[in-house]
A and B are shown apart, each in its own frame.
Chain A
């Protein structure tokens, strides 16, 4: 007979094997390729090359993803707050019905829509012009960094808002109502009473969004021109144009480090909270 312990091991073995074969093995492989020459000796030259050619894109990627996270957070707080504390049933009902839609639309489809929506003579500007809100000559194209951020925020906000609204629904409403009774505005109740209680959830959602946005290839490729662009596009280009896996893997390691940075900030905060409580 198998002992309880052995049985547990058998049960997790398939999962463990999948993680090892499909994630750990390629990860180690790409790490090795990023740090070695073809003859197998250790080198940092791929990182030097990555820095020389793509330093601007590294900064661009971080700025884009951070800015998108901040805007996503703001939009998600507004939506989740309205859903929790809103008093007009029409607004709450409509928002509830609508806000989750982008969740079901893949990044590539969103990018394709934005490509015609945000263009200089695209749907958005044409609508403004035909409504008389804008002169045709003052129309500008948003198909650059702004387009990438807009697509990311549009796509990630429902995900963050969904988690946040769930967390808000489960906190003790008495504290919120006490705040309201004492005359605090809804915005103040949201920011000072509700939000601190759901901060861990918000952070988890944002860290997940951060990592997701960091890994998207289709949006920067389709929405914006390639100068500057995000690291995913550079990695694809390294492989497709030069067959150069080493530098692509070096860029991959840089991406790991960026996403590890986000994870560390999150973990640190968690530990601080445990220490204080």
Chain B
């Protein structure tokens, strides 16, 4: 009898515990710094304001492959009652697919901070309509990083860069397209610069015949590649810049600033956005359609996109551009932190030369044409 009582009370405890101790699973596609951002910064803050809630941060790996894993998990659990993830942080390409396949919930009207978002990418993700389904966590941007001691006047345009690389062989380095997104961004910038109408690639509509018009640009890129170094990965480019093995190469702006702050890049490194520009991308907060903790997930995202968190966490701590409109951050951020983000790349540069990636079908065409015409 006593054993039965104990067993019953344990069972009752176990049944009741989800109410008193809820778990919010946040899956993040991205580099380790993004997983840490949730685990060490956002998570504890949310737990403090929501006693009894535990935030579990899961990383699914960097780049589109990380988002692909989240997509596969949600897709596999489509038929079930609830997904394992309550909040997902995903890339643009996967966001479009997930919205189309009904894996995400329309939640932004329940979150007040969504009104502070002004960027186009919150509505349009590489050609897919995602309005209502996502709020940008941050905006990230690629640019050319260069060693100001080795290179006094950095190239202003892609055409100047092409000539410069021919005169200075093996001084430019990028990571191709299989080693991370900074190389992909450079190749995209190249196609924007030399492949014709870049607006059509960004806004659509898709026309499969367009890729034939890139042949000349990609042929030139193949020649250009003979004079450059193909680095191993996003970090590989930064490593080589750090060791003085190359003088200039494309990098992610946030990685650049973080590495510089950690002393992994010398202070004489600078950034340059060459015309016509290079792409950047946001990461999105989204809520899976079948989450069991919808309300909590919305509250988590509301906190994550609040002006104070965007100022302290996104801009100051991690050197990303804010996901909500920057004017909401006024007064929340000291001038020094703000200036640092815009030292080399001014807000004017950013608005004229910070491009989007092309819509998904063109994006795939660029990558595959590169594999066909340049790499093989």
Q: Which residues of A contact B (CB under 8 A)?
A: 52-57, 115-116, 119-122, 141, 143, 221-229, 233-234, 236-237, 239-243
Residue of A nearest to B222 (CB): A227
Partner of B225, one of A56, A227, A234: A227
Min Cβ gap A103→B in Å is: 25
- Does B276 count as interface, using CB distance less than 8 angstroms? no
Please list 28 pairs of residues, one from A and one from B, whose beta carbons are closer than 8 Å in the complex, sorted by A's number.
A53-B372, A53-B375, A53-B376, A57-B376, A115-B239, A116-B239, A119-B240, A120-B243, A121-B243, A121-B244, A122-B243, A143-B231, A225-B175, A225-B176, A225-B179, A225-B236, A226-B176, A226-B177, A226-B183, A227-B176, A227-B225, A228-B376, A229-B178, A233-B178, A237-B178, A240-B64, A240-B65, A241-B64
Min Cβ gap A139→B in Å is: 9
Q: A121-B245, A233-B178, A237-B177 are in contact. List 19 more A-B contacts (CB 8 A).
A: A53-B372, A56-B376, A115-B236, A119-B239, A119-B240, A120-B243, A122-B243, A221-B179, A222-B232, A222-B233, A225-B230, A226-B176, A226-B230, A226-B232, A226-B375, A228-B375, A239-B65, A240-B63, A243-B97
Give the chain A neighbours of B376 by CB distance below 8 A. Answer: 52-57, 228
Residue from A52, A56, A120 having most chain B Cβ neighbours under 10 A = A120
- Does B229 count as interface, using CB distance less than 8 angstroms? yes
Q: Interface code B151-183, partner A: CB below 8 Å = 1, 0 otherwise?
A: 000000000000000000000000111110001
Count B interface residues, CB 8 Å. Answer: 31
Min Cβ gap A54→B in Å is: 6
Give the chain B neighbours of A243 by CB distance below 8 A. Answer: 68, 97
Residue of A nearest to B237 (CB): A225
Give the chain A neighbours of B178 by CB distance below 8 A. Answer: 221, 226, 229, 233-234, 236-237
Residue of A nearest to B367 (CB): A241
Structural contact, B243 and A119, CB atoms closer than 8 A: yes
Give the chain B neighbours of A228 by CB distance below 8 A. Answer: 375-376
Partner of A224, one of B64, B225, B232, B240: B232
Expressed in whole angstroms, the Cα–Cα distance for A121 and B177 within the complex equals 24
Structural contact, A242 and B175, CB atoms closer than 8 A: no
Structural contact, B64 and A223, CB atoms closer than 8 A: no
- Does B371 count as interface, using CB distance less than 8 angstroms? yes
Q: Which 10 pairs show the lowest CB-CB distances between chains A and B?
A: A225-B230, A240-B65, A226-B178, A226-B176, A121-B243, A120-B245, A237-B178, A53-B371, A56-B376, A227-B375
- Does B368 count as interface, using CB distance less than 8 angstroms? yes
Expressed in whole angstroms, the Cα–Cα distance for A221 and B180 within the complex equals 10
- Does B364 count as interface, using CB distance less than 8 angstroms? yes
Residue of A nearest to B183 (CB): A226
Expressed in whole angstroms, the Cα–Cα distance for A226 and B225 within the complex equals 12
Partner of B245, one of A141, A227, A239: A141
Give the chain A neighbours of B231 by CB distance below 8 A. Answer: 143, 225
Expressed in whole angstroms, the Cα–Cα distance for A240 and B233 within the complex equals 15
Structural contact, B233 and A221, CB atoms closer than 8 A: yes
Interface residues of B in 25-65 (CB under 8 A from A): 63-65
Min Cβ gap B175→A in Å is: 7
Min Cβ gap A141→B in Å is: 7
Give the chain B neighbours of A242 by CB distance below 8 A. Answer: 364, 367-368
Give the chain B neighbours of A224 by CB distance below 8 A. Answer: 232
Give the chain B neighbours of A119 by CB distance below 8 A. Answer: 239-240, 243, 245
Structural contact, A226 and B65, CB atoms closer than 8 A: no
Expressed in whole angstroms, the Cα–Cα distance for A222 and B239 within the complex equals 12
Residue from A53, A240, A242 having most chain B Cβ neighbours under 10 A = A240
Residue of B nearest to A58 (CB): B376
Structural contact, B68 and A226, CB atoms closer than 8 A: no
Structural contact, B63 and A223, CB atoms closer than 8 A: no
Interface residues of B in 213-242 (CB under 8 A from A): 225, 229-233, 236, 239-240
Structural contact, A115 and B245, CB atoms closer than 8 A: no
Partner of B232, one of A121, A225, A236, A239: A225
Expressed in whole angstroms, the Cα–Cα distance for A234 and B364 within the complex equals 15
Expressed in whole angstroms, the Cα–Cα distance for A245 and B236 within the complex equals 28
Partner of A141, one of B176, B183, B229, B375: B229
